[in-house]
Amino acid sequence: MADIIQLLPDHVANQIAAGEVVQRPASVVKELLENAIDANADTIKLIVKDAGKTLIQVIDNGKGMSTTDARLSFERHATSKIRTAEDLFSLNTKGFRGEALASIAAIAHVEMKTKQAQDELGTLLEIEGSTIKSQEVTVTPKGTSIAVKNLFFNIPARRNFLKSNNVELKHIIDEFHRVALAHPNIAFVMYHNGSENFNLPVSNYRQRVVNIFGGKTNEKLVPVEEETEVLKISGFVGKPEFAKRTKNEQFFFVNDRFIKSAYLNHAINSAYEGLLKDGSHPSYFLNLTVDPKTIDINIHPTKTEIKFDDEHTLYAILRSSVKHSLGQFNIAPVLDFERDMNLDTPYDYKNKNAATPRVDVDRSFNPFQDERTVSKANGFSSNSYKKEPAAQWESLYVGLESKGTKTDLNFSEVEFESEPETKSLFTKETSVETNQTTYQFHNKYIISTIKSGMMVLDQHRAHQRVLYEGFLKHLTVKEAVSQQLLFPLVLEFSSVEMEHLKELKEDLEHTGFVFSAFRAHQIEITGVPINVPESEVSIILEQLLSDVEQEVPDSNFSATDLLAKSMSKSLAIKTGQSLTRQEQEHLVNSLFACKEPSVSPTNRTTFITMSVDDFDKKFM
């Protein structure tokens, strides 16, 4: 039988490797930014067009490469980071496998300019699909500039799997945040389609967090500092009252490398135990420094997962450090049974003797005496006053006798004041006592009688369906009614959240929101939909952003439907809310006026029915 196993051609192997390394444009951004950091650059510029599908360019002022190194950097498994297998356990750099540039060059048009400080001229390389098209000498500043154009040009199937520009840009910004937060000692600038998105100067860690997530983030941060033989922790956690429904502000960095760890995230959540509302997630920006020999980075293609030698110890240290910081800054309650602040003696009274209490009595006081004189008894000063005689009760009837002597009183001229008659909003066809048709059970279910038996309705899901169809109608017809706010409402959001709100701005306006300004990290609202309280606006928008993050909409996804679902979920009657009989009946009637009354917007049952036969079977 003939041999069937053969070696793959290099260009095919590179494309297969690219499938692991380059999942989307954000993957290219991550690899190029990390290469610039490894080149000891202190200023890095990222230029993106069409969410990275057309162009991704990273320009740095690092040490650059020689002509030979520039050519060799695009070969597979060519790296300057490691020499032996033992080096894998003492890594202090971002990249080390030597696959990134080779994988990127296999699926895109790449142009690289690089020059070392001691050279007069640099090198220009042009590569298309792993094939080197040209290599020549060029004039370029010190450092390296890599431009990746037409990503997945030779793999159209992969290009078709990319999401919309808004979604891909969100992933690019996420990667940019992760790299920029880990290195506050490096200046970063980002441009998208010619406009500047970020300009982050060299700063300390707190300033870097504030520069990325907005000025009001500063008041939300609580510093965390801890150093042990095993682990060093530095960074910040957010105050519990500023917890969000999204996980956009959760960052772990191990040895300046962003990682994802559900185990360590659980340690943070346990430190916040009892301080967070349901569905809220704390913010944290924590740097963990450990011995490189105690971790294994090489377990995931994107290097975002790390294996620790002793996870239990790290869990305990991290949990106690965060809990200590929250308590130290008077955020978590602290119990002290030995001292009560309310019983402390003020400084002014510390050396004073307590005065003996006295009781002064005026023994000459006579309540039945019209005129009296107060004596100088018990320290009272001498003064006199005349008690005004009380009006005699007979004076109230003066003149009535004379009026009573008149005869033939005309009572027809007497006018009686009466309350204005008000009509009820609900017709009084049936009385509550005799014909009540709905009952509320445990402030959660509404029970209503029907011809065949009984119907049990979930009030929260039913109201969601009613609101959902109403919002869809407003969004489609675009004739929603707004109520103007007396004072504009200003809300703070991160840059990623602002991008989502800009996309949803038009749909939000169709539901009744009125925006007067969109700033870098702020929005100003002057009008809200009818029946939406001002205090609920921030909750509605946070819930909306959380839904957008979990169901990231692509070009085939209806943002209108997502908006209607999110707002109906936020504004629907909650479990535990008591309803009057009229409200119960109105909810039942509104539900059955909907097009799909049987399910909620999330396809969950809104009501069930039980026939008389079902009850009869229970008593057999």
pLDDT at 114 > cutoff 50: yes
Q: Quote the CA–CA distance of 430 and 536 in Å, as a whole number.
A: 36
Q: Quote the CA–CA distance of 256 and 93 in Å, as a whole number.
A: 9
Of these ranges, 70-79, 308-317, 490-499, the one predicted with the greatest mean pLDDT is 308-317
Mean pLDDT across the chain: 80
**Per-residue model confidence (pLDDT) at position 87:** 57
Determine contact, residues 41/62, Cβ cutoff 8 Å. Answer: yes
Please report which confidence band the pLDDT of residue 86 belongs to, taking 50, 70 and 90 as the band edges: low
pLDDT at 535 > cutoff 70: yes
pLDDT more than 90, % of the chain:
20
φ/ψ of residue 145, rounded to 5 = -130, 120
Beta bridge partners of 123: 114, 137
The residues of the chain that CATH labels 3.30.1370.100 are: 435-551+558-620
Of these ranges, 88-92, 126-130, 330-334, 382-386, the one predicted with the greatest mean pLDDT is 126-130
**Per-residue model confidence (pLDDT) at position 558:** 61
> pLDDT (tens digit, 9 = 90+) per residue, 285-317?
999 998 888 877 766 666 677 778 888 888 999
Q: In the block, which residue shows the tokens 């240290």? A: 317
In CATH, the number for domain 213-328 is 3.30.230.10
Q: Quote the CA–CA distance of 61 and 78 in Å, as a whole number.
A: 22
Dig out the tokens for 9 from the structure.
């051609």
Q: Bigger pLDDT: 93 or 202?
A: 202
Q: In the block, which residue shows the tokens 């707190």? A: 206
The residues of the chain that CATH labels 3.30.230.10 are: 213-328
Please report which confidence band the pLDDT of residue 402 belongs to, taking 50, 70 and 90 as the band edges: low
Instruction: List CB contacts of 302: < 8 A, sequence separation 6 or more.
Output: 21, 23, 27, 30
Beta bridge partners of 222: 237
Give the burial string for 251-276 (b: 16+ CB within 10 Å, else e).
bbbbbbbbbebeebbebbeebbeebe
Q: Quote the CA–CA distance of 461 and 617 in Å, as a whole number.
A: 29
Please report which confidence band the pLDDT of residue 392 belongs to, taking 50, 70 and 90 as the band edges: low
Determine contact, residues 438/584, Cβ cutoff 8 Å. Answer: yes
Residue type, 591: L
The residues of the chain that CATH labels 3.30.565.10 are: 10-200
φ/ψ of residue 88, rounded to 5 = -65, -20
pLDDT at 237 > cutoff 90: yes
- Predicted TM-score of the model (pTM): 0.68
Strand order in the sheet with 122-128: 131-138, 122-128, 109-115, 143-149, 55-60, 43-49, 187-192, 195-200
> pLDDT (tens digit, 9 = 90+) per residue, 464-474?
999 888 888 87
Alpha-carbon distance values, 165 to 210, 225, 337, 496, 552 (Å): 26, 39, 58, 14, 12
500: left (phi > 0), else alpha (psi -120 to 50), else beta? Answer: alpha
Four-way CATH pick for 435-551+558-620: 3.40.190.10, 1.10.150.120, 3.30.1370.100, 3.40.1280.10: 3.30.1370.100
DSSP structural state of residue 256: T
Dig out the tokens for 72 from the structure.
């060799």
Residue type, 234: S
> pLDDT (tens digit, 9 = 90+) per residue, 440-458?
888 889 988 888 888 899 9
**Per-residue model confidence (pLDDT) at position 123:** 92
Q: Which of 221, 232, 254 is nearest to 325 (CA)?
A: 221
Instruction: List CB contacts of 364: < 8 A, sequence separation 6 or more.
Output: 372, 373, 374, 375, 377
Of these ranges, 273-277, 382-386, 480-484, the one predicted with the greatest mean pLDDT is 273-277
How is 119-140 classified by DSSP, letter by letter? -SSEEEEEEETTEEEEEEEE--
Which class in CATH covers the domain with range 10-200?
Answer: alpha beta
Q: What angle do CA 218, 219, 225 make, to 5 degrees?
A: 75
3-state secondary structure 472-529: HHHHHHCCCCEEEEEEEEEEECCHHHHHHHHHHHHHHHHHCCEEEEECCCEEEEEEEE
DSSP structural state of residue 157: H
Beta bridge partners of 372: 385
